[in-house]
Amino acid sequence: MTSVKFLADEKNLFGFEISGHCSVSGDDEFGKIVCAAVSSAAYMAVNTITEIIGDNADITVDDAKMLLRVDNPSNSSVNVLKGFQLHIEELSEQYSNNIRIYGGAKHVKD
């Protein structure tokens, strides 16, 4: 099972932590596909925030774990994180046996 924890303060999202990723998301082909979807979305969010928008962030990528913590996120980075959260929420609704979500901003679809 892949766990995604969204990091937020009282104002905004500022990062996420993915754990249990790929190595235990599912041994079958289906679990690997879900893992690839989460992984691709996470890397796109990280690369957009750091390389395109240019916000500073702490990033850790280890075996079965990814952490992104943005220092003073701009509105653009917050919007990328909201989009990532929405994407993961939609995946979790479809594949609840493979993805678990913790934390995050409420009413991200508003």
**DSSP for residue 94:** H
Both tokens of residue 4? 């995604």
Q: What residue ranges of the chain have pLDDT lower than 70?
A: 21-28, 30, 105-110
pLDDT value for 4:
95
pLDDT value for 28:
67
Both tokens of residue 109? 């679809």
pLDDT value for 21:
62
pLDDT value for 11:
87
pLDDT value for 110:
45
**For residue 63, what is the enclosing H or E element?**
none
CA atoms of 35 and 88, how far apart (whole Å): 11
The class of domain 2-103 in CATH terms is alpha beta
Phi then psi for residue 42, to 5 deg, are -65, -45
Give me the torsion for CA of 39, 67, 7, 49, rounded to 10°. Answer: -70
pLDDT value for 25:
45
* Cut 0.75: pTM above it: yes
CB-based contact 88:99 (threshold 8 Å) = yes
CB-based contact 34:51 (threshold 8 Å) = no
